[in-house]
Amino acid sequence: MKRLKDSKEDRQNNIGIYTVGLKLTKELGWIFRLQPYKDLGIHATVEVIKDGESNGEMLALHVKSGSKFFTESTSKDIIFQFKTEHYTYCKEYPMPVLVMLHNPSNNAVYWQVVNENTVLNTASFITFQK
């Protein structure tokens, strides 16, 4: 039998997804739902809970994890670059999409909504405030 290989990048992506889920559940009390099917860019959804109740607000999450996503930044912003087709996919998704960046060095998670106001330079990058 041929053995399948697991990559360090796959493991880091999983760590990021589960860290985001834990933080959203534990710190905000939101309902985290992992996307169990083929990854086309949306890794999970969350149902927003306010004062112990849902108002039906749902958000889609695109999660990236790894130190390579934190190499380009300013004193107050993190710059995340992605392809135009990924921006278009997120912008046209039927619910708001948040890009979630997990920094494995300090376990911090940064987020930004994907829309015309947050994506700069013809969809080449999005900034996250530190």
pLDDT in 10s for each residue of the chain, 130 residues? 777 777 888 889 899 999 999 999 999 999 999 987 766 789 999 999 999 999 999 999 999 999 888 888 777 888 888 777 888 888 889 999 999 999 999 999 999 998 878 877 544 556 666 6
Pick the CATH number of 8-129 from 3.40.1350.10, 3.30.160.110, 2.60.120.1310, 3.10.20.30: 3.40.1350.10
Record the tokens describing residue 60, joined without a space: 């889609």
User: Shortest CA distance to 78 belongs to which of 124, 111, 113?
Assistant: 111
Tokens read off for 74: 């300013």
Predicted TM-score of the model (pTM): 0.83
